A and B are shown apart, each in its own frame.
Chain A
């Protein structure tokens, strides 16, 4: 398969995962119970992206010692919960991370 063909196929797969449910599901299929469970989708997916990015090292192994990302994330989370502000959360995390790796 040529590189371009492979890219096009990957693009198609990406598009189909985005499109299929929007195309197939109808409003009438939803009830309050389904809606309630689906409201947990962000809480169920985002941690699966967040946690490995924080706790795993470049080789994909869990690293708890000497890992500045853990403390920086905790600080970002606390700032986030109190400020409810997206930018404050991201920047407090980045600045704590830089403070830890460059100063300490």
Chain B
């Protein structure tokens, strides 16, 4: 197997456990979209063109509430602003790619793929084909997302709401953080970011609480890492 395909399949393998909660999420999206009066074609178009669970759900929420295009666009932008940080973190490893590959890789830069590829890239700095890991992981998410959207469109109403499957979404992200619960600074950053987001949810406009909380968390990390270092010098 070539090095590229090895990276590609590793990406698929690494993201696979994270796909379990994506299944109900995609189905829920399909059900909601049809419920709110979008056509099946429009619903599929959303999953292909936007390809972002949080953005699509926010879109539906605001669309159904009759929000203006401006509010919808700015809210989608705010929800997506976390990708700016993902891009910043990964750009170090991707800056040698040509423009076409940068465009392809960017389309697939979703939360789950970012989380596993970020670790993979750090461990394989010298491998110039490592970006195929992100493409494999991203394509895995993409395929599951499109299939479950379609399932949601046609079969969704069978799934009982009482199961509370949306709870699987925070659990996925929790699972991505388990290694960080053992590190002191990480725990502080986690608690602060989580509290800012929870308390700011009602106050911060345009659903920007995610990025506001992330920046507060990073600022705390910036201060704490400085302070901890000084202690050792």
How many of B's residues come within 8 Å of A, CB to CB?
91
In the complex, are the beta carbons of A41 and B105 less than 8 A apart?
no
A13→B106 CA distance, assembly (Å): 12
In the complex, are the beta carbons of A7 and B50 less than 8 A apart?
yes
Inter-chain contacts of B163 with A (CB < 8 A)? 98
Contact flags (1/0) for B67-92 with A, using CB distance below 8 Å?
00100110011001111111111111
B158 close to chain A: CB less than 8 A: no
A72→B168 CA distance, assembly (Å): 11
Task: Using known A-B contacts A10-B50, A80-B181, determine if residue A22 contacts B209 with beta carbons closer than 8 Å.
Answer: no
Inter-chain contacts of A45 with B (CB < 8 A)? 82, 85, 193, 210, 213-214, 217
B64 close to chain A: CB less than 8 A: no
Partner of B217, one of A8, A14, A44: A44
Task: Using known A-B contacts A14-B83, A21-B88, A56-B198, determine if residue A42 contacts B176 with beta carbons closer than 8 Å.
Answer: yes
Name the distance in Å between A38's Cβ and chain B's nearest Cβ.
5
- Chain A residues numbered 1-38 whose CB sits less than 8 Å from any CB in chain B: 1, 3-4, 6-11, 13-15, 17-27, 30, 35-38
A76→B118 CA distance, assembly (Å): 23
Interface SS of chain B: helix, strand, loop or mixed?
Answer: helix
In the complex, are the beta carbons of B218 and A37 less than 8 A apart?
yes
A60→B201 CA distance, assembly (Å): 7
Chain A interface bracket (under 10, 10 to 19, 20 to 34, 35 or more): 35 or more
Residues of B within 8 A of A (CB): 17-18, 20-21, 38, 42, 45-46, 49-52, 54-55, 59, 69, 72-73, 76-77, 80-92, 94-96, 99, 102-103, 105-107, 109, 115, 118, 162-164, 166-182, 185-186, 189-191, 193-199, 201-202, 209-211, 213-218, 221-222, 225
Residues of A within 8 A of B (CB): 1, 3-4, 6-11, 13-15, 17-27, 30, 35-38, 40-56, 60-62, 69, 72-73, 76-77, 80-81, 84, 86-87, 89-90, 93-94, 97-98, 101
